[in-house]
Amino acid sequence: MVNIKRTIIVLVSLGLAVATACTTVPITGRQQLSLVPPSTMLRMSYQQYDDFLKNNTLSADTAQTAIVKETGSRISRAVEQYFIRSGMRYELDNYDWEFNLIEEDTVNAWCMPGGKVAVYTGILPVTGDETGLAVVMGHEIGHAVAGHGGERMSHLLAVQLGGIALAVAMREEPAAAQGLWLTAYGLASQVGFILPYSRIQEYEADRLGLIFMAMAGYDPRHAVTLWKKMKAEKKGSAPPAFLSTHPTDDARIAEIERLLPEAMRYYREPTR
């Protein structure tokens, strides 16, 4: 009887949390579960990113590092411009952008809450040039702007810890809470392995990434070329880490082609 009563209480509490803890994804307008306050996400993100940098090697290639930082800076300025134009200037306080190139052969890149970005040297031969890099970085920054990490953390809290607040979980079950974060963001693995994003989240990141790279002056049409190159990269071998949790190549390319007319409305060729 006690266990049944406790289960009912947990389910009711979880139902109330789900009903009241929702946010809206920028641009797409999708409602998403959000059980973790932005301040908590940022605090944990900055701590984990610092830990990651201490345990990994930054690239010594100054030219490639400069390209990563320049590409990231252009896209981050586009994100900030979007927030200001959309009456969301308050969102600027939730970002402390940082872009680092990591010496690692894995074909991968990721962005944590608050704009903490890591690009692995292994992905640069695939991206080829700055515009190809902008496709990848725009996509990963799109995940962060859409709050997909927080959404995934919220679902993990709901399923594994009964929907209690992350702050409570960190106080009462710190090991479990830390494990959820590492699972959600993949920092327990040197190659950045993460739980799969849902297909909806992947397509949202594509859409936001296309728009942000276009606003930054990168031609979004290059995304089709890049993803076809990514598809070829997988032939005859295990998929790169960057692609291992993504939708099928043909489906993604078709969706990007569908999204291009919208993205092109934001694109202006940069003046030389």
3 state SS for the chain: CHHHHHHHHHHHHHHHHHHHCEEECCCCCCEEECCCCHHHHHHHHHHHHHHHHHCCCECCCHHHHHHHHHHHHHHHHHHHHHHHHCCCHHHHHHCCCEEEEECCCCCCEEEECCCEEEEEHHHHHHHCCHHHHHHHHHHHHHHHHCCHHHHHHHHHHHHHCCCCCHHHHHHHCHHHHHHHHHHHHCCCCCCCCCCCCCHHHHHHHHHHHHHHHHHCCCCCCHHHHHHHHHHHHHCCCCCCCCCCCCCCHHHHHHHHHHHHHHHHCCCCCCCC
In a domain, 157, yes or no: yes
Tell me the catalytic residues.
140
Count structural domains, the chain.
1
Report which of 98, 193, 170 is spatially closest to residue 141, judged by C-alpha positions.
Answer: 98
pLDDT value, residue 35:
76
Torsions phi, psi of 118, nearest 5?
-125, 130
Residue 12, in any domain of the structure: no
Q: What does the pLDDT read at residue 151?
A: 84
Give residue 18's pLDDT: 45
- The reply to whether the predicted model has a pTM over 0.85 is no
Least confident of 78-82, 100-104, 216-220, 251-255: 251-255
Is the pLDDT assigned to residue 19 strictly greater than 70?
no
Question: Does residue 259 sit within a domain?
Answer: yes
The answer to whether position 135 is within a domain reads yes
CA separation, residue 135 to residues 62, 120, 165, 206 (Å) = 21, 15, 35, 9
pLDDT of residue 142: 96
Task: Report if residue 64 sits inside a domain.
Answer: yes
Does 26 map to a domain? no
pLDDT at 63: 98
Q: Sorting pLDDT into bands at 50, 70 and 90, what band is 197?
A: low
Residue 92 is assigned to a structural domain of this protein? yes
Structural domain harbouring 84? 33-264
Task: Tokens for 47, please give them.
Answer: 């701590």
Q: For 80-117, what is each residue's pLDDT tens digit? A: 999 999 999 999 999 999 999 999 999 899 999 999 99
Q: Is residue 10 part of a domain?
A: no
Task: For 46-79, write each residue's pLDDT tens digit.
Answer: 988 999 999 999 999 999 999 999 999 999 999 9
Average pLDDT over residues 189-203: 61
